[in-house]
Structure 1
Amino acid sequence: MNSNNDNSLPADNDVPGESAGGTQRISKTQLFTLISAASVNFSSMICYSILGPFFPNEALQKGADQTIVGLIFGCYAFFNLLGSLILGKYIVQIGAKFMLIAGLFVSGVCTIIFGLLDKLPDGRLFIVLCFIIRSIDAVGFAAAMTSSFAIIAKVFPNNIATVLGSLEVFTGLGLVLGPAIGGFLYQSYGYEIPFIAQGCVLLLMVPLNMCVLPSQDATPSKDSFWRLFTRPKIVLICFVIFSMSSSLGFLDPTMSLFVMEKFNLPSGYVGLVFLGLALSYSLSSPLLGVVSDKMPTLRKWLMVIGGLSSAAGFCVLGPAPFFNIKSQLWLFVLMLAVIGFSLGMTGIPTFPEILICAYENGFEEGLSTLGLVSGMFGAVWSCGMFFGPTLGGFLVEKMNFEWSATIQGGIALIASVLMGIYFIIEGRWKKRSPQTSRNGSHEESSLLLSNGI
């Protein structure tokens, strides 16, 4: 990648690879970036996922209905969307390191404050402050994740999918430990302690990142989000990202209540059910990242196959009434594992595919474009995270979990089918235009696979 605009960008020989002696080596900048990104993924997701096992039931007792609970989850995603768009555009002016550290601090403080809201009287005041605190928290989360994605893509230009896939282990750990520890602490000590404990963990990440995260300097570019959205391929990939995040968001306000009612599980054990999703996602992501980087021609089909598998998992999760299958706990956990693996298969290739498409269409190589792509990724993800719980809460209230999960699976099915049709048409077009195909393949190879970036 061109480093004219940023002297802190690692040189080619800093990229992980074979040294003269044949051993793997990694630069200090890359090592510290990995530590920082891992801490952001872990601490942010552990605070995000803590609500799942017990907050929906707590909110219902405080006077909210199922639709309001879905909106509380959804507002987080809505303001994350706005924050990602704005912060992604101005990441160069704000500074990637400052943005990440400030985001962690804001998110940690908001998590602690959210844990004190049960002291409020039932009804409107509790609901309004839930919306306000979650919205501010969402902006902090957007700042941390947008800057983290951009820095990773800049420091590891040759191995983006591999590094992102490996870091998803820490995302998965956060998703695993958040519900499990949160449910246990809630059952043992009440509503406040889970949020205070998790918020303090997040705040501890602030001085860590101040010490280890390298600074990233760059110059602004004149490119915009709207130019990215002029490419049909990017639009379809964004729809795939949307279907992924809406699937995850759908489960937040609906799954814990369904499990408690259907299988008579206490809150402390509901968090363990989340393990099926989080473990399969986090454990499979590193392998999927390696496959995505080593086999770029296979990367696009991973998105399609992953979407189809996710759709099938949601249809059997309830399961769908037309299957005439009895709902059982082992089947529910198994389908969560299938969904987790499928989401990893779909999601890991999306970021490098968007980045390649942006470079092929004339976007400048540097932190500014990486910020735009990171911001767009976060915005689309947040859009799905708003849509999923909002629609999920409404559908469960009007219908039931079984039909709602089936409808959610239908969204993933539509996204994967449209993406597959596009890739088939693109493949036929390249066969008719061999010169274009060779140029595109050469550019893709030079961007992510060769050591001459």
Structure 2
Amino acid sequence: MSVFQFNISQSVIGVIYATCPGAYSVSCMVSASILERNVPAVPVLVTGICCLAIDFLFIGPAPILSFVESTLWLSILSMGLVGIFTAAVVTSAVKYIFKQARNLGYDNSNSTFGLLSGLIQSPTYFGSFIGPLLGGALTEHFGFAWAMTWSILVIMLPLLLCCTLICFRSWHVWQPSILKQDNYVTLEGN
């Protein structure tokens, strides 16, 4: 976020950057309590990713939204919404991963939790490493507003993978009954 254009103190800039993790911390508890009420994780995940992508349009703001002015309140609101939508994405993804592990027959043991925690945290920390490098390169080459706009592609990649998985699973459940039959005619030769 290009908050330096507003000529505000370093303390206020620090507070602006704290809105994202602050909103994330509170929203994780809210998202988790909502998901514990047997709300399906996939719709929450898809909604969170779509809202996060839309919110990234307003962080820059995106040059394609020429009617949106970069203001201090929009910067603060956008950063807070990033925290809220990220919490929805992370909590629903973790719920879905653990549910699918149980469906695949993994037991509720510390080794399973350790394995899944490693599988969840590895991409998270890889993103924390590569994100600033890629973001810095995009910002240097295209400018901040375009870098935030291009970041939407990175945000939408999990949604594309998720939709592919949902379509594959739906085809597996709803495929024509003739494809599910296992009664074949065996031809035996002499």
TM-score range, shorter chain: 0.7 to 0.9
Structure 1 residue 408 and structure 2 residue 151: aligned? yes
1:397 to 137, 140, 144: 140
**In the alignment, does 2:1 pair up with 1:294?**
no
- Structure 2 matches for 1:199-278, cutoff 5 A? 255=1, 258-260=2-4, 262-278=5-21
Equivalence for 2:61: 319
Cα deviation 1:66-93 (Å, max 9, x = unaligned): xxxxxxxxxxxxxxxxxxxxxxxxxxxx
**CA RMSD, Structure 1 to Structure 2 (Å):** 2.0
**Could you give the per-residue CA deviations for residues 30-56 of structure 1, whole angstroms, max 9, x where no partner exists?**
xxxxxxxxxxxxxxxxxxxxxxxxxxx
- Is this contact kept in 2: 1:320–1:403, CA < 8 A? yes
Instruction: Show the counterpart of 1:347.
Output: 90
Aligned partners of 2:57 and 2:149 also within 8 Å? yes
Matching residue of 2:122? 379
Residue 165 of structure 2 corresponds to which residue in structure 1?
422
Alpha-carbon offset, residue 282 of structure 1? 2.3
Structure 1 moving runs of 4+ over 6 Å: none
**Would the aligned equivalents of 2:59 and 2:74 in 1 still touch at CA under 8 Å?**
yes
**Number of residue pairs the alignment of both structures matches:** 175
| Contact persistence 2:41–2:95 (CA under 8 A) | no
Structure 2 letter corresponding to 1:303: L
CA distance in 1, matches of 2:32, 2:89: 11
Kindly indicate whether residue 54 of structure 2 is the aligned counterpart of residue 309 of structure 1: no
User: For the Cα contact (< 8 Å) 2:3–2:75, is it kept in 1?
Assistant: no
Structure 2 counterpart of 1:245: none
Q: Deviations over 1:86-127 (max 9, x none)?
A: xxxxxxxxxxxxxxxxxxxxxxxxxxxxxxxxxxxxxxxxxx
For 2:69, what is the secondary structure of its paired residue? Answer: coil
Structure 1, gaps ≥5 residues long: 1-254, 434-453
Cα distance in 1, alignment partners of residues 34 and 174 from structure 2: 24
Residues in 1 aligned to 2:47 and 2:163: alpha-carbon distance in whole angstroms: 9
User: Quick one: percent identity of the two aligned structures?
Assistant: 25
Scaled by the length of structure 1, what TM-score is found?
0.36
**1:279 Cα offset (Å):** 3.2
How far apart are 1:274 and its partner, in Å? 2.1
Matched residues in 1 for 2:166 and 2:38: separation?
A: 16
- TM-score (ref. length: structure 2): 0.82
Structure 2 residue matching 1:327: 3-state secondary structure: coil
- Within 2, Cα distance between the matches of 1:270 and 1:405? 19
Counterpart contact for 1:313–1:409, Cα < 8 Å: no
8 Å CA contact 1:305, 1:416 repeated in 2: no
